[in-house]
Amino acid sequence: MALMAAFTTLDGSIVGMYLLATMVAGVMVRKYVSRVDHFLVAGREMNVFLGIASLAATEFGIVTCMYTAQAGYTRGFSGSIPGILNAAAMFVVGWTGFCVKPLRDSGVITIPELFEQRYGKFVRWLSGVVIVLGGLLNMGVFLRVGGQFLVVCCGMDLGYLEIAMTVLLVGVAVYTIVGGMLSVLVTDFLQFIVMSAGLLVVTFLILGEIGWSRLVEAVELHHGAGGFNPFIHQDLGWAFVVSNLFTNIATVLTWQTCIARLLSAKDSKTGRRVYTGTAFFFVCRWVIPGIWGIAALAMIDPSVVEGIGLQFGERDGTLFAMPYLLAQIVPAGMMGVLVAAMLAADMSTDSSYMLTWGSVIYNDILGPFRRTRWSEKRGILWNRCIVALIGVFLLFWGLWYKLEGNLWEYLQITGAIYLASMATLLIACCYWRRANNWGAIAAIIVGAVLPVLSLSLNLFVQVPLLDENGAQILKDGAAATQGLVKYYVGDNFVNIGTFLAAGVAMVVGSLLKTVFSPGPDTPDLKEGTP
């Protein structure tokens, strides 16, 4: 089955003008980058409106659009529950200042830097390693998913996938390497405007083409009552809701792209207002692409969706249902606006992620080994080199790793590599006097081991997929398989177990130190401590 050619010269011109404007805006701020804190946290001068636009743009990329649309296609309206939980967590944390106020007032650049004040230098280094490991594995699929969207949506030949991935990377890397966080904030603002306009236009186009009633009917037909209630959905249930609740709270508290905006704010009050102001957007980032996915469910034959997946060498084609739908219904000229909006979403996400993981490598993995403080010029050079190397890793990972199964579940399990432990360490750092380095190290190890083990087993250990009668299901002449952990346990239970185990490890490790290595209590984190 050939992909429909939908991209015209007019569309290409629109996309080209957008890319040129973005590159010029990102590069122009280079002259304002003279210190490392300019590069990493924009000199801590970010205001509320720029912060809201930047955070919203960062947390909505092509990969976001793809996994939320896949959730709509495979789970109906119930698939949007992570967005509702994310919005609630973002608002409550911003409103109360829970953890984020003492974090911003501490004056640090990264979370591991804060941990050194409480737990020591080794914990800072170890947490930095875990953050980078989880962050890069999480981001590793971004380029490939973005390239797949462009190929399917624009009707390109599949041979252009690698080219699309490389172009995406180079475009983002140039202005990120040159201008750091200043470039990211400036381009994010532009990208937020383009992205928002594109999302609204395409949503109205889809609703005008299909109608709301047809979306509801499609969910009822394919998912029944579970398509509206996640607790009774056959693939979701309470474990899915609880798992996402833990994940979203931890994300708001410790996900470095969120924290980077908090730490770039003028003060903790500004950072908290950014959180509360962005909260509603996190419902929209799940609901709007979710509607696109449900529309694909209503309009596209499942066999067509399966066929697209096979073209990419993947058994599950549900990830490509939404971009294929857009290729069918979005007219010429409007397709250029759509692609520009998606590129805006993708570039804002990729640039922020590259910068934030790079900041941890520079500040917390390499930093503890520096005998003397680097000059500002040398520090900026090192940061630019690190961002470039991250880009190379992402390209090769995207080319090598082929995602199997649900995209959101992959992102959730890789994110848990550091979310569970870092959230535990941060809460204990701010509010538990008896927390110490033994507990911190135990939480980091336990929190990382479980999801890494799960991911490894899902990748390398396969079991036959059986039907309800115990017979092996054959597909295209070969046994359909899935990961061992996914088959016998489920990613949601692994995720819940990881958070609980990290918390227990922190408590047990900290108490054991008081028994075997007694000493004075570690003081609580003081607000404003440098």
DSSP string, 257-275: HHHHHHHHBSSHHHHHHHH
**According to the model, what pLDDT value does residue 23 have?**
60
- What is the distance between the alpha carbons of residues 172 and 169, in angstroms, rounded to a whole number? 5
Looking at the chain, how many residues does it have? 530
pLDDT (tens digit per residue) in 318-377: 888 888 888 888 777 677 777 777 776 666 677 777 777 887 888 788 877 776 666 666
Rounded Cα gap, residues 215 and 293, in angstroms:
10
Element housing 403 (H / E):
none
**Residue 489 burial (C-beta neighbours within 10 Å; 0-12, 13-18, 19+):** middle
Residue 475 DSSP label = E
Instruction: At 339, give phi and psi (nearest 5°).
Output: -65, -40
Distance CA 26, CA 33 (A): 12
Phi/psi for 106 (5° steps) reads -70, -20
Q: What is the pLDDT of residue 269?
A: 83
Cα–Cα distance for residue pair 499/243, rounded to 1 Å? 9
What are the helix and strand counts (H, E) for the chain? Answer: 22, 4
Alpha helices in 99-160 (DSSP H): 100-105, 111-119, 121-139, 142-153
Q: Under CATH, what is the fold of the domain 9-404?
A: Sodium/glucose cotransporter (1.20.1730)
Residues of 351-384 as b/e, b for ≥16 C-beta within 10 angstroms? bbbbbbbbbbbbbbbebeeeeeeeeeeebbebbb
Cα 530 from Cα 523, distance rounded (Å): 15
Q: How high is the pLDDT of residue 181?
A: 53
Domain ranges (residues) in the chain: 9-404
pLDDT, residue 339, reads 75
Residue in the block written with tokens 């046994």:
479
As beta bridge partners, residue 478 has: 475
Rg (CA), the chain: 23
The pair of three-digit structure tokens given for residue 185, joined into one six-digit string:
């904030």
Low-confidence residues of the chain, pLDDT below 70?
A: 1-12, 14-15, 18-47, 57-58, 156-165, 167-169, 171-192, 313-315, 333, 344-348, 371-377, 398-406, 455-491, 518-530
Cα angle: 288, vertex 289, 295; to 5 degrees: 95
* pLDDT for res 423: 92
Displacement of CA 295 from its chain's centroid (Å): 24
